[in-house]
Structure 1
Amino acid sequence: MISPKAGLTTVSNKYKRFILASASPRRLELLNRLGFSPHKVLQPNICEVSRKGELPRNYVSRMASEKSLAFSLEENDVLLAADTIVAVGRRIIGKPTSISHAREILQLLSGRRHRVISGLVVRNGHRNSCKVVETVVRMKNLTTVEIEDYIASNDWQGKAGGYGIQGKAEQFIPWIRGSYSNVVGLPLYETRSLLLSYGLKASS
């Protein structure tokens, strides 16, 4: 469990605590940039295996929902859960599990378009809201040297699709259509709108 500094988020009197159900450092950084600093960060422990025939958008929505339900809430809690995947057609691509897996993913993405899809769920003790955000990304044709150099950098670790657009892989992406922050790990516009609708106020 990570315990960021409390008090950086101004919360209305209606709610006391903002909880992030994700251990992703990128999501925490993006939330801090928005002015929403969680009072508590929790790491969900759920089964992330896709169901037979499950489509990418349905999968990411289900993952975010299951993460949000992994914790009990007190009366004045507001919880944000999120999940991000890469999809090539109907194929769901999560985080690489090994160097060879990372290499396989980069070879698959090389020279083609893919989708980065995030599911967001915000809930309190009375209701929940879900949003799915999709960004189309094109990766250039990667040489064997580029793939091996990137793998050696270890920047692929812990990232859906085996790359981080905010890091060394930025040079591999000629264009995107949609939310850039979604590719990093959290669509900021949609996240802010959901949190505000639950009575949270961003710090100035």
Structure 2
Amino acid sequence: MSDFIYLASQSPRRRQVLEQMGVRFELLLPDADEDAEAIEAVLPGEAPATYVKRVTGLKLDAAVARLKRRGLPPAPILCCDTTVALGRTIYGKPVDERDARRMLRELSGTTHRVLTAIAAQHGRKRLAALSDSRVTFAALTPVQIRAYVASGEPLGKAGAYAVQGRAALFISRLRGSYSGIMGLPMFETAQLLRALGLPCNKTF
């Protein structure tokens, strides 16, 4: 049994969570010719939970093929995807600052969902889980939104904010998994890796 996993994600926050868990990992990132963005396209009428689980499964399919193509040693592969949802509206990563401001205006003063799906595979065994949390934003002023977007933090983040960053100033209530909102739910990840037989931190 391997004593490490492959993480198929470029997110530094997910690396941070794995390090906090005491899990050894190596990155298994897409090749230059892989269209990683196309995987995240939303299908017409797709519900947020269905979307995030489907995208995570596609990411895992691509990572498994990548591992075989590169001839790398076998080890569990972990993939994740996070999305923010207000009702059935899905908020992915903003395309630019204007888009980030729009998202924050729409999330201002609301309680929205943050869904993080995870999937792991080792050999033929594949497991998946979903973390579903609620985040309540205070009402944001236009000045607050402009200043936050100008900080650069919202870019590259689902819903245009990072719970572990300055956006914490806007959050009046949080229910669910803090690490899940960051992008990798510790509890569910530990359950999956333990089920795959990974000898991790003894606290597992």
What letter corresponds to residue 181 of structure 2 in structure 1?
V
CA drift of 1:15 comes to: 2.6
Specify every segment of 5 or more residues in structure 1 that has no aligned partner in the other structure, as ranges: 1-13
What corresponds to 2:161 in structure 1? Answer: 163
1:38 aligns with 2:25: yes
Q: Distance in 2 between matches of 1:84 and 1:201?
A: 26
- Identity among equivalent positions (%) equals 38
Whole-angstrom distance in 1 between the partners of 2:3 and 2:19 = 18
- State the Cα RMSD in Å: 1.5
**Matched residue pairs, number?**
191
| Matching residue of 1:136 | 134
Q: 2:193: which partner in 1?
A: 195
Q: Which segments of 5 or more consecutive residues in structure 2 lack a partner in the other structure? A: none
Structure 2 counterpart of 1:76: 74
- Corresponding position: 1:64 with 2:62: no
CA deviation after TM superposition for structure 1 residue 17, in Å: 4.5
Q: Is the 8 A contact 1:86 1:161 kept in 2?
A: yes
* Residue from 4, 9, 19 that aligns with 2:6: 19
Residue 203 of structure 1, CA deviation: 4.1
1:6 aligned residue: none
Q: Is the 8 A contact 2:18 2:24 kept in 1?
A: yes
Q: Is the 8 A contact 2:13 2:182 kept in 1?
A: yes
Moved more, 72-81 or 129-138: 72-81
Q: Corresponding residue for 1:47?
A: 39
Q: Does the 8 Å CA contact 1:28/1:37 hold for their aligned counterparts?
A: no
The aligned residue for residue 125 of structure 2 is: 127
SS at match of 2:129: strand
Partner of 1:148: 146
Match for residue 173 of structure 2? 175
Q: Partner of 2:28: helix, strand, or coil?
A: strand
Aligned equivalents of 1:203, 1:193: Cα separation in 2: 12
Mapped contact 1:67–1:81 kept (Cα < 8 A): yes
Looking at structure 2, the residues matched to 185 and 39 of structure 1 have their Cα atoms a distance apart, in angstroms, of: 17
Alignment check: 8 A CA contact 1:85 1:93 kept: yes
For the residue of structure 1 that corresponds to 2:130, the secondary structure is strand
Question: Are the counterparts in 2 of residues 121 and 129 from structure 1 also a CA contact under 8 Å?
Answer: yes
Which runs of at least 4 in structure 1 moved beyond 6 Å after TM superposition? Answer: none
- The CA deviation string for residues 13-53 of structure 1, in whole angstroms up to 9 with x for no partner, is x2365101111110011111101121333247252111111
* Structure 1 letter corresponding to 2:155: Q
Task: Provide the TM-score with structure 1 as the length reference.
Answer: 0.89
TM-score (norm: length of structure 2):
0.89
Whole-angstrom distance in 1 between the partners of 2:91 and 2:150: 20
What residue in structure 2 maps to residue 94 of structure 1?
Answer: 92
